[in-house]
Chain A
């Protein structure tokens, strides 16, 4: 069975893609979907519980929570894609070089991976942010720079199993250079596992960004992000439950969506892996 046929039959994978597509749609058309301006302060209506006017209530400055969450979806999407892009590029390059050349190059790269894995990732991210400014670009790049090790291991394993195959030997015999063999002949065969890692990586990056923003060192207010709405939730924990409940639910559903999609892609690419 081909990829799409298997994928279409997988209800969970379809649910995942549905969630992800919906998020794309909402973030792309955020200005049209959001009932209010996400930055519009209304001091007469602070901390209002959910009502017909404000479906998900208002925050401590009277801003509409639903509108802020819709704009927050944009941030999540951006962080997820950029951070994962950074870690996939680094991970793929290092993994390809390590797996293809082997020997001391491989040894050096893999020891570096081992060292990086000793650091509790969240500590490393926080430490770097302490030294730089917590702007959204810095955060995306730092999340990416601390998340490439898994991809490296994955790509390296693929390259080791592929580099002695007949089609690679054939390419070498007709005189293809190393770069050509790596990028044109082997890499396309490793794309499947990279794609799965990327989808699951987006979920992880979104979780990390929300935790950082929640702690106040991620996306800075007034820019709305799901994490920093939750900070307001914590500050008003005894009076405004809606500030805590809904943004977290949005994070949960988004992460579930990407995880379902990632596992669905994996099962459809390689039905043997299916439980």
Chain B
């Protein structure tokens, strides 16, 4: 098992290098150089100062050397200094926002798993039933709904029309004065809509995938064997078939991670949640290049790690993968 994990990590290295090369190339798209940004608006800047800044940013060196020293800084966790007015290190800015985003993603993954798998399994077991048809329509619409629009409609209905749920931020204004239980309830209320919206896109994909998987598994010989030896239908479906149908779903969950992370920009912006997605959006609007690059890189690495976890848990669940 350990050997398998080490092998997977080893395979990640070229991907990681590729990711940094792409990030570095995107950074080169920037109009002008960082030096211009800092000197153009400053009447006191002189030619020497410009040269000094150039040397500081190592812009006077050939491109592969620039890449190399950027990589070296990266390996020390140095993502540069934000262009925003706070001038803080990008790594620190991202780090303080990551927990919120990961919390939201994990909660929505849990919801996706808890809702999509039963739907997929039930609609496969009762193929062509009314339930199967209704969920089929929902899944099809789920693929086509723009999530930010759904978010707006939910905000209008639950937040403004009914007034049940708050529509922005993570805390109420009176958060400080609430009892610990009250604070917990307050947080949960703020999380309901964002987590639901974030989960929504993944629901359709996974339940459709589970349905197809289950239909495939039910037709296998070993299911017929299980039936032939007289097992109850419940045991056949929920013990023999379900386990085999669940395995590939792990990979799908791994593949859905980039979508979830990418989606965080939209729902964190809509619901004003101070996570990584919102920081990214603000950095894009403010042309804060170091922060944009840092988050792009972190997003890709999170995806890579997510895929690694999915691969490893797949190998844990299915011995066939480990051996081959």
Q: Which A positions have Cβ atoms within 8 angstroms of B?
A: 111-112, 114-124, 126-132, 203, 207, 210-211, 214-217, 230, 233-234, 237-238, 241, 244-245, 247-248, 251-252, 255-256, 259, 275
Contact = CB atoms under 8 A, between A and B. Distances in A.
A80 to B, nearest CB: 13
B262 A121 contact: yes
Could you tell me the dominant secondary structure of chain B's interface residues?
Answer: helix
B258 A237 contact: no
Contacts of A230: 148-149, 152
27 contacts: A111-B15, A114-B15, A116-B22, A118-B258, A118-B300, A118-B303, A119-B22, A120-B262, A121-B258, A122-B265, A123-B261, A123-B280, A127-B293, A128-B26, A129-B284, A130-B287, A131-B26, A131-B30, A211-B266, A215-B281, A234-B152, A234-B270, A238-B160, A248-B146, A252-B149, A256-B141, A259-B140
B18 interface: yes
A148 to B, nearest CB: 14
B29 interface: yes
Nearest to B257: A120
B263 interface: yes
Nearest to B27: A131
Nearest to A243: B152
B316 interface: no
Contact of A127 (B147, B258, B292): B292
B152 A119 contact: no
A115 B19 contact: yes
Given A126-B280, A244-B153, A118 B304 contact: yes
Given A210-B146, A217-B285, A132 B300 contact: no
Contacts of A132: 29
A252 B200 CA distance: 15
A127 B26 contact: yes
Nearest to A257: B144
Main SS class of interface, A: helix
A111 B14 contact: yes
B295 to A, nearest CB: 7
Nearest to B258: A120
A120 B15 contact: no
B37 interface: no
A175 B87 CA distance: 65
Q: Which 8 A-B pairs have the closest CB atoms?
A: A248-B149, A122-B262, A120-B262, A115-B18, A255-B144, A131-B29, A120-B258, A130-B284
Interface in B280-323: 280-281, 283-285, 287, 289, 292-293, 295-296, 299-300, 303-304, 307
Contact of B263 (A114, A122, A128): A122
A211 B304 contact: no
B118 interface: no
Nearest to B159: A237
Nearest to A244: B152
Given A111-B18, A118-B19, A128-B26, 11 more contacts: A114-B18, A120-B258, A120-B300, A120-B303, A123-B280, A127-B284, A131-B31, A131-B292, A216-B285, A238-B160, A244-B149
A256 B270 contact: no
B110 interface: no
Contact of B296 (A123, A214, A245): A123
